[in-house]
Amino acid sequence: MVSAVSAIRLLVLGAVRQHGRAHGYQVRNDLEFWGAHQWSNAKPGSIYHALKQMAGQGLLTAHDTEPSTAGGPPRTEYELTAAGEAEYQRLLRRSLTAHDEKPDVLTAGVGFIVDLPRREAIELLGRRVAALEEWSAEVAREWTPPGAPDEWGHIGEIMRLWVHNAASGAEWARGLIERLEKGAYVMAGEGERSVEVLPEGVGNPYAERPHDRTRG
C-alpha cells in the first residue's frame, strides 16, 4: 500500500531544495508568499516543526550559522540529504498521480512540477487522468443508486458531486498536459530559472502577520 502524501513535508522539502540551504524564516516567507497558509496546513508552527522533525529523521541536515552582523540571533539553515532528495521526489510524483489525496497535496505538487523532466510530468498527469476516469466509472458502476436520477433523493447529489469533481479534475489535467506538450514553463534539465520565490529584502504582502525574525 502506497503511503499518503503529507503536503507540509512536500512544501517544506521543496522550499528548502530550491534554495540549496534555507533557514526557517526563509521557508516560511516563501510558503506564505504562495498563500500556502491559506490552502494547506503550512502554518508557521507546522513549518518549524516539520523542519526539526525531518532533520531528526535524516531528511534534512541542520547547519548552525553565526549571529548576523546586525546583532540578530543565529539561525539554523537546513539542506536536503540524499534521503531527503529521494523523499521529495517520491512525494512530488505521488502528488501528481494520486486522485484520492486532499486538494492541498495536488496544489503543492503543481507548485513544484517544474522540478520534473517534461516528459515525465506529462506521463504522471496522464496517469492522473486515467485514475480519475476509472474512478468515475466505478462510481457509475458500484455507487450509483438504481433507478432514474430523480428517484435517488438528495443522496444522489453525492454521486453527482463525485463525478463532477472527477470530470473537472481530468479536464484541468488534460489542459496542463497540452500546455506542457506545447513547451510551457522551464522544466528540469531545460536551462536556468529563478529559484527565488520572494527576493531578499522584499516584504511579503500575503503574510498573516509580521514575521518573527527570532525563530528558525
3-state secondary structure the chain: CCCCCCHHHHHHHHHHHHHCCEEHHHHHHHHHHCCHHHHCCCCHHHHHHHHHHHHHCCCEEEEECCCCCCCCCCCEEEEECHHHHHHHHHHHHHHHHCCCCCHHHHHHHHHCHHHCCHHHHHHHHHHHHHHHHHHHHHHHHHHCCCCCHHHCHHHHHHHHHHHHHHHHHHHHHHHHHHHHHCCCCCCCCCCCCCCCCCCCCCCCCCCCCCCCCCCC
pLDDT in tens, 131-156: 999 998 888 787 766 666 566 678 77
Residue 116 has pLDDT above 70, yes or no: yes
Q: Which of 5-19, 26-40, 193-207 has the lowest mean pLDDT?
A: 193-207
pLDDT in tens, 182-215: 999 999 999 887 665 555 565 655 555 444 443 4
Residue 210: the pLDDT is 45
Q: Which residue did the predictor score with more confidence, 3 or 1?
A: 3
Yes or no: domain 1-96+192-211 corresponds to CATH 3.90.1150.10: no
Average pLDDT over residues 113-137: 96
Residue 196: the pLDDT is 57
Mean pLDDT of the chain: 85
Residue 69: the pLDDT is 60
